[in-house]
Amino acid sequence: MKLVNAVRCFDGEQRRYEHLSDTLNCTMQFSLYLPPKALQGKHVPAVVWLSGLTCSDENFSSKAGAQRVAARLGIALIIPDTSPRGDEVADDDAYDFGKGAGFYVNATQAPWSQHYQMYDYITKELLDLCHTHFPLNGKLSISGHSMGGHGALIMALKEHDQFRSVSAFAPIAHPSACPWGHKAFSGYLGDDRAQWHAYDAVELMRQGHKCPPLLVDQGSADNFLAEQLNFSTLKETVEARHFAAQLRLQDGYDHSYYFIASFIEDHLEFHATYLND
């Protein structure tokens, strides 16, 4: 693993690392924020952030304003990329499939299965790597935006012993039932709907998976709300399962990082309740 750069930020450090991923079969970069407390040698909890379509690990790092809050709360931020990378990795011209659009699943279909194993990469390899090399105390929560908001939901549902809490901004809540998810899941997972349901948050809830405490924010002026995000289906499913959850419709907010920046403090404070317990 190689440190690509490190800059001071709110008395902590914003770092970028490069490493060869065995799971993804390619060289990956990820970002990490260590709060002042961690630089002073203490072991701290971490929030994993999963980004949306077209993003790398740098969008959240540079636009969300999360470090200020993470510094204050003594929480590390682990920020993976959104897909495998490199010239040898299969790609697609569209913004919503291939590189930048891994959808946090383990692909089973050629040619994608060779590299697109983002679910295992994050839940196993990357988190192991971070716990081996950084001053983390093993307590984890997870959050994300859009495609990454859904990634956070499925990881929390499928690995609910690993994550103490989960939150999402405008998640693609039910990919089996929207155009983005249809395209990605049929490409990466084939035509068998049962395979799709193993990576669909609403379906996992319906199947009986447990869910850690949950916070979701959704902007009412989000251009993708009607066609892609299935917020009301998520709300109904969460209520039917009686999960400890807050799902908030935020008046006038869109799908951008300006929306995320406006509410990231709420989300990190929510996670801190469980991480510092």
- Residues with a catalytic annotation lie at 146, 222, 255
Nearer to a second copy, 29 or 108 (CB): 29
> How much helix, strand and coil, in percent to the nearest 5, is found in the chain?
40, 25, 35
Residue 75's contacts (CB-CB under 8 Å, 6 or more residues apart) are 35, 44, 45, 46, 47, 69, 268, 271, 272, 275
Nearer to a second copy, 25 or 250 (CB): 250
Shortest separation between residue 222's beta carbon and a second copy, angstroms:
10
CB-side neighbour CA atoms (13 Å) of 218:
24
Nearer to a second copy, 11 or 227 (CB): 11
Of 35, 88, 97, give the one whose Cα is nearest residue 66: 35
Using CA atoms in the order 144, 205, 162, 40, what is the torsion angle rounded to 10 degrees?
Answer: 30
Shortest separation between residue 39's beta carbon and a second copy, angstroms:
10
Q: Which residues of the shown chain bind a second copy in the complex (CB under 8 A)?
A: 7-11, 14, 62-63, 65, 67-68, 219, 221, 252-254, 256-259, 261-262
Element (H, E) at 161: none
> For the CA atoms of the chain, what is the radius of gyration?
17
Residue 186's contacts (CB-CB under 8 Å, 6 or more residues apart) are none
Shortest separation between residue 228's beta carbon and a second copy, angstroms:
18
Nearer to a second copy, 15 or 139 (CB): 15
Shortest separation between residue 252's beta carbon and a second copy, angstroms:
4
